[in-house]
Structure 1
Amino acid sequence: MANAGDIAVPTRLEGKFKATVVCWILGFGSLVAWNSMLTIGDYYYNLFPKYHPSRVLTLVYQPFALGTIALLAYNEARLDTRKRNIAGYILFTLSTLLLIVLDLATSGKGGIGPYIGICVIVACFGTADAHVQGGMVGDLSFMCPEFMQSFFAGLAASGAVTSGLRLVTKAAFEKASNGLRKGTMLFLAIATFFEFLCVLLYAIVFPKLPIVKYYRSKAASEGSKTVNADLAAAGIHANQDDAKEQARLSTKQLLRENIDYAVDLYLIYVLTLSIFPGFLFENTGNHKLGSWYPLVLIAMYNVWDLISRYIPLVDCLKLESRKGLMIAILGRFLLIPAFYFTAKYGDQGWMILLVSFLGLTNGYLTVCVMTVAPKGYKGPEQNALGNLLVLFLLGGIFSGVALDWLWIIGNGSF
């Protein structure tokens, strides 16, 4: 078994392309289960028309995600990242499978019992999300920025792919007997497969790639204990220097130095989730597209969210200025009155344009912040900062989900 300090710098960054692809798939698996829930919203509205499923399920999801990530971020230096991420992907796999089992057991019937069961499963999704997203972002923060970008592109791709699949299954099963349910079951089965694939990729393939072993060995030499199990899985013995470990910045110091980046992520997602998906399902009115309208809106958001996450790969288009990022993020709040007046007076073309811009700015600004913030820190500090940033990201999502209810309260339709 080799020592961590003996791993040389890869001369040609061996395995970089393969690692980038694996990061994309791992990002895809981090949100494919939840995005599946969002894109089959039309099925749940058919089963539970009085329970506001898109808003309630999102509101159930977030406290578990936020509470879990808060605990994990506080203890990140003592956690085994390998066990944390594998546990998260396994929980995602089992939870998605349970959605299918629950539907089969209840024969696709509505009612408060099945609805409570779905809420419990969604709470498991939130817990799994906190394990995986915080763990993966912390892990990738001390590797090359392309891995982080690829992971977040995978997150967005899960939305785009699930939206596309939902449109296909809706068209394929629309005229079939009980077609909406059949399409949903096929949909969830595909999501379960991808979650299981992520378990295998993270546990077996990712830790053995040369470039990944190099970055984890470097982090271990700087005092990180979170990578020990992953290094052991790759046949490397971690040998830490206690003096280096003690020299790292504390979590409070890291937060103080990066509070603007943390607030950036909070503000990005508090705006996005105050509009997506609840407003799109319940507050956009009736249009020519009929029942297809919210699905098309969600698909457009997800497609542009995905595309925008590749824009920062072009150096001249990447926004790295801290002041510039804050100005751009605050400027997005003009979308709130824009959505309000478009829903009230505009046609579906203007709404599609607005939703596309919402996705475009969400993905682009997220990747810019996440790839710029960890620069200049040692491995253990980057891991801690990655967890902190995800904590604020999920905090923004939770706040946005809560504020989303103001749309229907303001309309008097609650």
Structure 2
Amino acid sequence: MAGSSSYSVLPGYQSELTMDNDDEQIGVAKTQGKYWGIFICWLLGNGCLFGFNGMLTIEDYYVYLFPKYHPTRIITLTYQPFVLATTAIFTYHEAKVNTRVRNLAGYMLFFLSSFGVIILDVLSSGSGGIAPFISVCIIAAAFGVADGHVQGGMTGDLSLMCPEFVQSFFAGIAASGAITAALRFFTKVAFENSRDGLRKGAMLFSSISCFFELLCVLLYTLLKCNLMMLNFSPIGQAEEDRVVERLSNKQLLHQNMDYALDMFLIYVLTLSIFPGFLAEDTGSHSLGSWYVLVLIASFNVSDLIGRYLPLIEQIKLTSRTGLLIAVITRFLLVPAFYFTAKYGDQGWMIMLTSLLGLSNGHLTVSVLTEAPKGYKGPEQNALGNLLVLFLLAGIFVGAVSDWLWLIGKGW
């Protein structure tokens, strides 16, 4: 037609252009989905320990209510057998378990346990005594069962996707400690001069914890739906791969025993010092009632920083031998803490506590992002569960070892 211009494109070429545009759009969507997934994994890592860290962070309230029962040590020790046993059961039956249902059940139990902390305090009217203390220990055990569902399940599930998700999840676990410490500072300041301020601050903190755990239930559902749509979460494929020949747990453990030993020793040391020794055996200093909170905050913040350090390739530990040497060398912190508590001032103790957290976070993420490489999807899932099992075994042994600091001091 005169006065008009038209351009014709060959059908095949037009199809290629359309395919290129579609591929580009899919690529952009996957990139955005990946960053969104990393952020949600971070939040879900928070939720994995937010509730229990909350119980530890309001330890000043529990020490006030139950001064004769060593609540910081007892609550931690009560928690550990349940998380260890639950994780061991799931690790053994990993190939038969629906990981998505396992994780969702765990986050729901986190919420119910956090809610239970508030209900218990209301029913007991903030009084001490053996009955409320036993109830607190039961709630700690419930947190342990929930953690046994989630930590190994999420590690195994995220190992099927990409290392960034695993790193972000464990950074979130560390962030839960830093965030709970910061919130505890806020609630302590807000109610410090009011009547019954310690209890009010603790309950406000517990309410925030409860709300966040409920949010995690919704976030986990959102994460799985989004990542499955973007093919980051090969759940369906993983279920099919379970019938394919794969290495047994025993074979995986044999090939990765050094990594498993790393995880065990890292947390034996950490839990033999934190939180019990820091809360009860470091003496009185000019910071007064704030001293223990500052130490806990120092550990949690430095632990969080340590979990991001492996993102810097130049300082990330990748050598299997180097990791094991670093883990063993870290036990020199035991005499360092002993002599600092006996002769040093609070500045040296804060520095040592920060070093404990920094090394804990850095070594944890270095092991968990290196170990699952080179395996099939189901094997990565199984290895993730095994490593978390050894991590939790280390926490249990460390929590028991923490009582050794009381030798010669009486009960």
Fold shared per TM-score above 0.5: yes
Contact map agreement 2:37 2:227 (CA 8 A) in 1? no
Residue of structure 2 equivalent to 1:163: 181
Provide the C-alpha distance between the structure 1 equivalents of 2:316 and 2:158, rounded to a whole number of angstroms: 19
- Residue 279 (structure 1) aligns with: 277
Partner secondary structure for residue 410 of structure 2 = coil
Residue 409 of structure 2 corresponds to residue 412 of structure 1: yes
Which among 75, 93, 106 is matched to residue 57 of structure 1? 75
Task: Return the match for 1:339 from 328, 337, 340.
Answer: 337
- Aligned mates of 1:211, 1:345 — CA distance in 2: 56
Query: What are the within-5 Å matches in structure 2 for residues 172-183 of structure 1?
Result: 172-183=190-201
Partner residue in 2 for 1:296: 294
1:78-97 superposed matches below 5 A: 78-97=96-115
| Amino acid of the structure 2 residue aligned with 1:271 | L
Q: Distance in 2 between matches of 1:328 and 1:122?
A: 32
Residue number in structure 1 paired with 2:378? 380
Instruction: Trace 1:165-244 onto structure 2 (pairs within 5 A).
Output: 165-203=183-221, 205-210=222-227, 213-217=230-234, 220-221=236-237, 224-225=238-239, 240=240
- Per-residue deviation, 1:311: 0.8
Give the conservation status (yes or no) of the 8 Å contact 2:227–2:233.
no
- The answer on 1:103 being equivalent to 2:121 is yes
Contact 1:19 1:212 in 2 (8 A): no
Any unmatched runs of 5+ in structure 1? 1-7, 226-239
The answer to whether the 8 Å contact 1:24/1:152 transfers is yes
In structure 2, the residue matched to 1:136 is: 154
In the alignment, structure 2 segments of 5+ residues that lack a partner are 1-22
Q: CA deviation at 1:211?
A: 6.8
Residues of 2 paired with 1:91 and 1:208: CA distance?
A: 21
User: Which one-letter code corresponds to 1:249 in the other structure?
Assistant: L
Query: What SS class does the counterpart of residue 104 from structure 1 fall into?
Result: helix
Q: Corresponding residue for 1:146? A: 164
The answer to whether residue 384 in structure 2 is matched with residue 362 in structure 1 is no
Contact 1:96–1:188 (CA under 8 A) maintained in structure 2: yes
CA gap 1:93/1:138 in 2 versus in 1, 3 angstroms: same
Paired position in structure 2 for 1:114: 132
Alpha-carbon shift at residue 167 of structure 1 (Å): 1.1
Partner of 2:84: 66
CA offsets 1:201-233 (integer angstroms, 9 cap, x no match):
112x1122247751333x643xx32xxxxxxxx
Supply the AA of the counterpart residue of 2:179: V
Which whole-Å CA distance do the structure 1 matches of 2:82 and 2:224 have between them?
Answer: 29
Question: Aligned match of 1:25 in 27, 43, 63?
Answer: 43
- Local SS of the residue matching 1:175: coil
Contact 1:19–1:206, Cα closer than 8 Å, also in 2: yes
Q: Percent same amino acid among aligned pairs?
A: 61
State which structure, 1 or 2, has the greater radius of gyration over its C-alpha atoms: 2
Structure 1 stretches of at least 4 aligned residues deviating more than 4 Å after TM superposition: 210-213
Give the aligned residue type for 1:413.
G
CA contact (8 A) 1:16 1:211 kept: no
1-structure distance, mates of 2:76, 2:404: 15
Match in the other structure for 2:10: none
Give, in angstroms, the shift of residue 308 of structure 1: 1.1
Q: Secondary structure at the match of 1:320?
A: coil
Q: Name 2:27's counterpart in structure 1.
A: 11
2: distance between equivalents of 1:140 and 1:373?
Answer: 13
| Shift in CA distance, 259/402, structure 1 to aligned 2, threshold 3 Å | same
RMSD across aligned C-alpha pairs, in angstroms? 1.4
> Is the aligned partner of 1:39 residue 2:37?
no
User: What's the TM-score, normalizing by structure 1?
Assistant: 0.91
Report the residue type matching 2:400 in the other structure: A
The whole-number CA distance in structure 1 between the counterparts of 2:142 and 2:228 is 33
Q: Distance in 2 between matches of 1:381 and 1:282?
A: 42
For the 8 Å contact 1:206–1:212, the answer to whether it is kept is: no
For residue 91 of structure 1, report the CA deviation from its aligned partner.
Answer: 0.4
- Contact 1:207 1:213 survives alignment (8 Å): no
Match of 2:260 in 1: 262
Q: Which residue of 1 aligns with 2:5?
A: none
Q: 1:229 corresponds to which residue?
A: none
Match of 2:27, SS state, is: coil
- Shift of the 316–182 alpha-carbon distance from structure 1 to 2, 3 Å rule, reads same
Aligned length: 386
Please report how far the alpha carbon of residue 246 of structure 1 lies from its aligned counterpart in structure 2 after TM superposition. 3.2
Q: State the alpha-carbon separation in 1 of the partners of residues 167 and 160 from structure 2.
A: 13
1:142, 1:184 → 2: CA distance? 39
Q: Distance in 1 between matches of 2:104 and 2:245?
A: 30
